[in-house]
Amino acid sequence: RDTEAIAAPTDAPDERIDVGVLIVGGGPGGLACAIRLGQLLEESPDVRDRLGDVPVAVLEKGKQPGSHLLSGAVMNPRAIRKLFAGRMTIEEMPTYGQVHREAVYLLTKGASVRIPPPPTMMNRGNWVVSVSEFGRFLAEQAEAGGAMILPETTGQALLLDHGRVVGVRT
């Protein structure tokens, strides 16, 4: 119910952590957001100063970034190359290499038949990653850019004051 997910701020000011931008979720998307904000704030120190002592913070529910990310993945490198353009190449990131070819087989009880890969399964040029390892790497990059990672912290309710989002209860 929305009454459980939305609340008014009630904690004493000395029990709050004031942050400029709070990202709820320490997965690849949230961490990439923190990295990009760090890059933008690096270019605008006056804005960084206005955001306070903690300009960017990331709530991470796991014990450490990446600890709740369990799968492997095939990653299209376009966005990550753009995020780190001029700073780092994909070869410097934790990957298991590039996909050079793929094959799809139709399996039956007694045989397998190779079929053309459907468009959604064409991965040539993409990179194989452990999402957990990649999450830890992204967290390191976010912290290097000035973000504060808050591990073992879950968002419990969105805090509103006069219709304006003012925080998250953890």
**One pLDDT digit (tens) per residue for the chain, 170 residues:** 676 788 888 888 888 888 999 999 999 999 999 999 999 999 999 999 999 999 999 999 999 988 888 889 999 999 999 999 999 999 999 999 999 999 999 999 999 999 999 998 899 999 999 999 999 999 999 999 999 999 999 998 999 988 898 889 98
Tell me what pLDDT residue 12 has: 84
Q: What is the DSSP letter of 116?
A: P
Q: DSSP strand E in 89-150: where?
A: 104-107, 112-115, 127-130, 148-150
The span from the CA of 43 to the CA of 48, in Å, is 9
Cβ contacts of residue 110 below 8 Å, gap of 6+?
none
Which structure tokens are listed for 130?
């452990």
3-class state of residue 106 by DSSP = strand
Tell me what pLDDT residue 11 has: 82
Which structure tokens are listed for 65?
């970034």
